[in-house]
Amino acid sequence: MGERTSATRNHWAWRHRFAEALADKLDPERFGVSRMFIGGSTARGDAGPGSDIDLYVELHGSEEQKKELATWLEGWSLCLGEVAVQQTGQPFPGGILNVQWLTHEPSVHQRAEMVELSLKSS
């Protein structure tokens, strides 16, 4: 694909908006999710055309719920990877989400690098 980065200087902004949309569509009860955060360059506001989206998911559910959520997130990741190609020309063949599973509350140090996303109410 052609070079498109000059037209999309705020790479972090559209990534952040899509992460917010993902969180809004997620059913926390169905998937056993307590909280969700973004981190890395998207959270800092300095993502470039090749940046992934670091997504931290705090779980309280079962392994089955985690597997279902992983499949659900993979669909989002692949779709958003295609959006990234169209926005930047940068391919993300395995998807754009870098999902990290949290089984406990993030530490103060971790939280300093994260932005919590609002989940819809059950």
Domain count for the chain:
1
Does 122 reside within a domain? no
Q: What is the pLDDT of residue 87?
A: 86
Q: What is the pLDDT of residue 6?
A: 42
Per-residue pLDDT tens listing for the chain (122 residues): 444 444 446 888 999 999 999 999 999 999 999 999 999 999 999 999 999 999 999 999 999 999 999 999 999 999 999 999 998 899 999 999 999 999 888 888 888 889 999 998 65
Query: Taking a C-beta distance cutoff of 8 angstroms, is the pair 11, 88 a contact?
Result: yes
Q: What is the pLDDT of residue 9?
A: 67
Question: Quick check: helix, strand or coil at residue 19?
Answer: helix
**How many residues are listed for the chain in this entry?**
122
CA–CA gap between residue 30 and residue 92 (Å, rounded): 28
Does 28 reside within a domain? yes
Does 94 reside within a domain? yes
Does 47 reside within a domain? yes
Residue 82 belongs to domain spanning: 5-117
Q: What is the CATH number of the domain that holds 51?
A: 3.30.460
Does 51 reside within a domain? yes
Q: What is the pLDDT of residue 105?
A: 85
Cα angle: 71, vertex 40, 118; to 5 degrees: 60
CA–CA gap between residue 114 and residue 74 (Å, rounded): 21
